[in-house]
């Protein structure tokens, strides 16, 4: 390592953010774009407001993408050529890490030494790049895994593909090398310590936030008009990537069970699915539509593409309940966004969702993925109007405790801790 030009600072001047496999410019809800994209863009913008310049490095997927795009004042997105100019499956990306790393290092080489004060890598692929850049530049590495292979493999959905051994090894290496590990919840800290041998003292818990200016209560009637939904329907919504891990099929099976118990509900229920195929869901892109047909609820199910901006807000406002039935979630930003709009959430009791959802207050957590259990929870949260009103009130109050400003405060504190750890290690090497 080289250390001579590293200058002490309470707050970094410029941070290199690495996001190899997905760009903060992409629309969440399809492909590999999801909560991680939102996390990166929101924290980058908030850091820039505080005077910290942020440069996000991501893989170029089209020859028409400009080399550099300004996401917001003080935030640049750099498209690095690594492999073909087209989207690649995640299992194809490790072969492009050498080229990506070269592009990152070459960018820094055009500047004076010490141009970047810190590296923050997101997901294990980026961690591999960050590990090398850290040693070359002599600056701290902060890493956020977002998801962990060993955790995902322990809770696979039926028909889903296990994460490969290559990823497990890669994650173990990054955990060992990072100066600071940032997690969403204390549950994830326990997973890193228990499954990956992480040093608990090197882990910072930083809860994600929600844009409370954008996601807020509004007219349900207006939102339903915008989406073409019946004004008097009971709307159950799913928002996110359509893949086995996210388990939208659980919601459909639960709705079928509700109608089986009470056929009159067929006249009232609408299932709204907002998202696109992703991951192993790409192999059977029409599987969810086919399932709705086989369950006899095709006419109740509305499919819309991934939504952004005011359109996404309308989905949350239009819904009586937003369902998050995932088999694994490191946090669950969809749950938080929905609650900020005053919409209760019914979610699986997995990963970080018990933090994102206050059970019995802002919604309900379901300890299984069985259709009957989900039907029971949906009936209570959506069809019991007294309970629904209480959950809606609790949802808004719970979400108000989360913001991207608060997240950025904690993230900058983690950067400071990483810097201290890095300096300590440098002094030990020097001695």
Q: How many CB atoms lie within 10 A of CB 197?
A: 10
Determine the pLDDT at residue 427. 72
Q: Does domain 220-399 have CATH number 3.90.79.10?
A: no
Binding site for UDP-N-acetyl-alpha-D-glucosamine, by residue number, is: 27-28, 35, 241, 246, 307, 329, 337
Known binding residues: 21, 27-28, 32-37, 90, 123, 147, 167, 241, 246, 307, 316-317, 319, 329, 337, 343
Binding residues for Mg(2+): 316-317, 319, 343
Encode pLDDT of 79-112 as tens digits.
Answer: 999 999 998 888 899 999 999 999 999 999 999 9
Of 295, 293, 281, 362, the residue nearest 326 (C-alpha): 281
Q: Matching CATH topology for 14-209+404-430 and 220-399?
A: yes
Q: 276-332 pLDDT, tens per residue?
A: 875 544 444 588 999 999 999 999 999 999 898 889 999 999 999 999 999 999 889
Residues annotated within a binding site for 1D-myo-inositol 3-phosphate = 21, 32-37, 90, 123, 147, 167
Burial string for 259-282 (b: 16+ CB within 10 Å, else e) reads beeeeebeebbbbbbbbbbbbebe
Cα separation, 164 vs 170, in Å, equals 10
Task: Provide the residue ranges of all domains of the chain, joining segments of one domain with +.
Answer: 14-209+404-430, 220-399
Please identify, in words, the CATH class of the domain defined by 14-209+404-430. alpha beta
User: Is this prediction's pTM over 0.75?
Assistant: yes
State mean pLDDT over 130-154. 95
Structure tokens at 62: 């089209």
CA distance 69 to 55: 10
**pLDDT tens across 333-356, in order?**
999 999 999 999 999 999 999 999
Backbone phi and psi for residue 372, each to the nearest 5 degrees, phi listed first: -65, -35
């Amino acid at each position: 390592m080289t250390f001579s030009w590293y200058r002490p600072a309470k707050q970094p001047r410029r941070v290199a953010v690495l996001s190899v496999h997905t760009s903060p410019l992409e629309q969440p809800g399809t492909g590999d774009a999801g909560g991680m994209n939102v996390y990166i863009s929101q924290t980058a913008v908030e850091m820039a407001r505080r005077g910290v310049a942020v440069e996000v490095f991501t893989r170029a997927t089209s020859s028409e993408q400009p080399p550099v795009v300004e996401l917001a004042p003080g935030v640049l997105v750099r498209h690095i050529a690594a492999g073909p100019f087209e989207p690649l499956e995640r299992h194809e990306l490790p072969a492009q890490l050498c080229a990506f790393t070269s592009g990152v290092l070459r960018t820094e080489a055009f500047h004076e030494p010490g141009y970047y004060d810190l590296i923050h890598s997101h997901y294990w692929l980026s961690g591999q790049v960050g590990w090398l850049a850290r040693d070359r530049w002599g600056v701290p590495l902060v890493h956020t895994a977002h998801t962990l292979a060993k955790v995902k493999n322990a809770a696979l959905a039926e028909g889903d593909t296990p994460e490969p051994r290559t990823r497990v090894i890669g994650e173990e290496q990054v955990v060992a090398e990072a100066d600071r590990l940032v997690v969403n919840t204390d549950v994830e800290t326990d997973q890193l310590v228990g499954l990956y041998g992480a040093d608990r003292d090197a882990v910072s818990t930083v809860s994600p936030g929600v844009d409370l200016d954008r996601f807020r209560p509004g007219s349900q009637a207006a939102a339903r008009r915008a989406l073409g939904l019946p004004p008097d329907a009971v709307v159950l919504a799913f928002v996110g990537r359509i893949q086995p891990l996210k388990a939208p099929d659980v919601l459909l099976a639960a709705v079928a069970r509700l109608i089986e118990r009470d056929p009159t509900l067929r006249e009232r229920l609408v299932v709204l699915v907002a998202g696109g195929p992703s991951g192993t869901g790409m192999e059977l892109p029409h599987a969810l539509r086919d399932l709705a047909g086989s369950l006899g609820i095709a006419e109740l199910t509305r499919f819309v593409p991934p939504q952004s901006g005011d359109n996404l807000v309308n989905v949350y406002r239009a819904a009586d309940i937003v369902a998050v039935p995932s088999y694994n979630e490191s946090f669950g930003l969809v749950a938080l966004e929905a609650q900020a709009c005053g919409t209760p959430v019914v979610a699986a009791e997995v990963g970080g969702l018990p933090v994102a959802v206050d059970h019995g207050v802002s919604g309900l957590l379901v300890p299984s993925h069985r259709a009957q259990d989900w039907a029971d929870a949906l009936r209570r949260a959506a069809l019991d109007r007294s309970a629904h009103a209480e959950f809606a009130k609790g949802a808004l109050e719970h979400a108000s405790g989360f913001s991207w400003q608060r997240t950025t405060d904690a993230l900058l504190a983690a950067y400071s801790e990483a810097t201290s750890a890095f300096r300590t290690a440098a002094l030990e090497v020097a001695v």
